[in-house]
Amino acid sequence: MNLETIITHSPALIVAVPLLGAFLTPLVGKINDKLRNVFVILTVGLTTFFVFLLANDIFSSGNIRTYVFGGGTPITDGGFAIRILFEVDGLNAFMAIIASILALACVIYSWAFMKENTGLDKYYTLILLMVAGMFGMILTGDMFNFFVFLEITSISSCVLIAFWTNKGKAVDAGFKYIVISATGALFILFAIAILYSQYNALNMAFLANSIQYTFLDKIALVLLIAGLAMKAGIVPMHMWLPDAYGRAPSSVTLILVGATQVSLYGVLRMTFTLYGSQLTIPLKQIGDTSITMNGLLGITLIALALITILVGVLMALKQTDFKRLIAFAAVGEIGYIVLAIGAGLTAMGTSYGNMAFRGGIFHIINDALDVGLLFLVAGAIYYATKQTSLNQMGGLSRNMKYTTVFFLIGLLAVAGMPPMNGFASKLLIYQSTYQVNPIIAIVAILCSILLLAVFVKVFHSAFLGPKLPKFKDVKDVPKSMLLAMGIIACFIIFFGLFPEFVVNNLVKPAADAIINNTNYITTVIGGAVP
Amino acid sequence: MIYNIPYIAVVALILIGLYAVIFKRNLIKIVIGITLIESGVNLFLITLAYRQDSIAPIYHGEISRLMSLPVPHALTLTSIVIGVAVLALMLSLVIHIYRHYGTLDARKIGREEE
């Protein structure tokens, strides 16, 4: 049992460990509550260990690792063997790191945050199921498998959103979420069926190799992007997101942020790996200008992204509920990622196009950490004061020193101020979008400033001001919650201080996987897989 | 033409389902809409599996004829199982919503001040 063996099997273990842990949790919970919490944290910790081991191997060697479930003989002549293949390249490893950090912070945070709730066996089971589903979506190289894990994630996250069933609004948010995600998932399944009908395969690399870009393929692409955009919360399909983020327990919101980012990963994987080789072909010739697929798709995404940013930021301005406000800011932040992807698509092949992809991918991890930290702070304030409305808060910095510091870190990071990580990725996005069109960059910068204004207002009304008599006995939150916030804050500061290191070692391999899909295809088609 | 009827049914089912999800106010009708979309997609998968003159992929003595590839059947079964889970979950949420608000009208739900 040496290290190489563990790395070889880790793609399967990353999904299997939380899945097994999920169904063992109720049994362990029968013995003791503390033991169950330790067991859950150990399970997620072990998964995180495998993720980092695998990611370290992928990033240092530049290889693509595959893991095969099932036999290798094709049933039909000249066809592709029917089996499930896990394929891990730079992008997968990058997303797995995000998911593992968020999952670890979530279970540590839950220890104190959810202590007073009943039904925690089910809560932890669902959390682990959701983690397993997220990792499955990230690591799989099979279209139908992707759909199955997507459904596992959305079913478990829907129940977690509605976990506080004593509140009508939480149940309402859960229902909204399941309607949107079920419809989106069925769109994706329909697209998968269309692809299968033409190419008799479900493997992503095989499909990418043989894709012809027929009329049906275009329909499938639109369905895939629409279905995944519903789950990622891009305007006009964003209305579930503020409700779900705002009503779910804060620890769940943190992991929901991760699930949203994984849906964005799905958009990247489907668009760039599946259709990557066909994106630059011209569609129509009008006079001297030819309309290409990437230009058309890129401009659509840029337009959607700008609306998303504007809606998110402007709606955040008028919210009085703390968590809903952060949720709208999260909508805006997702807009930035989509903006970078759209800009990269329009300028595909140029150096600033590559820069846009890097900025977008870097912003995925930054957004997950920043917004996640703010949600944890909102949860901490709710835990200490039982208040969610900003009008009821004030002077909290006097009682909750550590929480205030974490909020300041999150505030600066979300608004893209140096030296936090949000600045590094947003600068890349501004630079590259300026090359596409200066107006886009100006709108993006203005919205970022508005975001700062929003959070300064929150900081003022919640933390500054005189000590309120009703918060006289408020104490800072328990250690486990501080530890979870501390882990995320450490990553934020580290990424902010050494952006060069992160971009070169983590982001660049992931962006290269988007820009060039040949490696992904040849690993499977070229006979490297048994 | 006769071979296209299943595909027309697929599109009709999905469009009716989408109409129900988008325009209906009653939560039960929204759930029915999602089930309709799911039936449409499942019908599409099953239609794809059909090959003329082939038999279902079950061995029963007569092996001279071609069998159709059972992958879409397997996909459909998985999809049905997932669909049942989602349906049960949605209906249980509807029950909870009804207990809280005493109505299933989407316009009257989740509007209360806290």
CB A138 within 8 A of CB A262: yes
Q: What is the number of CB-based contacts under 8 A between chain A and chain B?
A: 84
| Residue of chain B nearest A152, judged by CA positions | B82
Residue given tokens 């999809």 in the structure block = B79
CA distance, residue A186 to nearest chain B CA (Å): 6
* Full DSSP string of A220-283: HHHHHHHHHHHHHT-TTS-THHHHHHHHS-HHHHHHHHHHHHHHHHHHHIIIIIISGGGTTSEE
Closest C-alpha among A16, A249, A19, A14 to residue A120: A249
Check CB contact of A165 with chain B, cutoff 8 Å: yes
3-state secondary structure A14-54: HHHHHHHHHHHHHHHHHHCHHHHHHHHHHHHHHHHHHHHHH
Put simply, the chain B residues between 73 and 112 with a CB less than 8 A from any chain A CB are 75, 78-79, 82, 85-86, 89-90, 93-94, 96-97, 100-101, 109-110, 112
What's the whole-model pTM score?
0.94
Question: Which domains does chain B show, CATH number per domain?
Answer: 2-52+68-101 (1.10.287.3510)
A175/B97 touch (CB, cutoff 8 Å), yes or no: yes
Check CB contact of A382 with chain B, cutoff 8 Å: no
Sign of CA dihedral A312, A314, A318, A320: positive
Minimum-distance CB partner of B41 among A75, A193, A200: A193
Region label for A474, one of left (φ > 0), alpha (ψ between -120 and 50) or beta (otherwise): beta
Check CB contact of A175 with chain B, cutoff 8 Å: yes
Check CB contact of A190 with chain B, cutoff 8 Å: yes
Q: Which residues of A touch B96 (CB under 8 A)?
A: 162, 165, 171
CA distance, residue A172 to nearest chain B CA (Å): 6
Check CB contact of A169 with chain B, cutoff 8 Å: yes
Task: List residues bridging with A84 in a β-sheet.
Answer: A69
Q: Which residues of A touch B6 (CB under 8 A)?
A: none
Lowest-confidence segment of A371-380, B12-21, B69-78 by average pLDDT: B69-78
B89/A178 touch (CB, cutoff 8 Å), yes or no: yes
pLDDT value of residue A361: 94
Q: Which residues of B touch A196 (CB under 8 A)?
A: 48, 71-72, 75
Q: Which residues of B touch A182 (CB under 8 A)?
A: 34, 38, 86, 90
Among B66, B75, B78, B114, most A C-beta atoms within 10 A, so best to mutate, is B75
Check CB contact of B38 with chain A, cutoff 8 Å: yes
Check CB contact of A155 with chain B, cutoff 8 Å: yes
Residue given tokens 């092949």 in the structure block = A349
Closest C-alpha among A96, A85, A180, A162 to residue A131: A96
With 0-12 CB in 10 A as exposed, 13-18 as middle and 19+ as buried, what is A311? middle
* pLDDT tens digit at each of 530 positions of chain A: 788 999 999 999 999 999 999 999 999 999 999 999 999 999 999 999 999 999 999 999 888 999 988 877 776 666 677 788 999 999 999 999 999 999 999 999 999 999 988 889 999 999 999 999 999 999 999 999 999 999 999 999 999 999 999 988 999 999 999 999 999 999 999 999 999 999 888 889 889 988 888 889 989 999 999 999 999 988 888 889 999 999 999 999 999 999 999 999 999 999 898 888 777 777 777 777 778 888 888 899 999 999 999 999 999 998 889 999 999 999 999 999 999 999 999 888 888 889 999 999 999 999 999 999 999 999 999 999 888 888 888 888 888 899 999 999 999 999 888 888 989 999 999 999 999 889 999 999 999 999 999 999 899 988 888 888 888 888 888 999 999 999 999 999 999 999 999 999 999 999 998 888 888 888 888 765 65
B78/A243 touch (CB, cutoff 8 Å), yes or no: no
Check CB contact of A172 with chain B, cutoff 8 Å: yes
| Residue of chain B nearest A154, judged by CA positions | B86
Q: Which residues of B touch A144 (CB under 8 A)?
A: 75, 78
H-helix or E-strand spanning residue A86: strand A84-88
Closest C-alpha among A344, A310, A320 to residue A448: A310
3-state secondary structure A115-153: CCCCCHHHHHHHHHHHHHHHHHHHHECEHHHHHHHHHHH
Q: Which residues of A touch B79 (CB under 8 A)?
A: 189
CA distance, residue A45 to nearest chain B CA (Å): 29
Question: What b/e readout covers A247-264, taking b as 16+ CB neighbours within 10 angstroms?
Answer: bbbbbbbbbbbbbbbbbb
ipTM score assigned to the predicted complex? 0.95
pLDDT value of residue A172: 92
B69/A76 touch (CB, cutoff 8 Å), yes or no: yes
Q: Which residues of A touch B97 (CB under 8 A)?
A: 168, 171-172, 175
A190/B109 touch (CB, cutoff 8 Å), yes or no: no
- Chain centroid offset of residue A414 CA: 15
DSSP state of B18: H
Check CB contact of A183 with chain B, cutoff 8 Å: yes
Quick one: pLDDT band at residue B36, thresholds 50, 70, 90?
A: very high
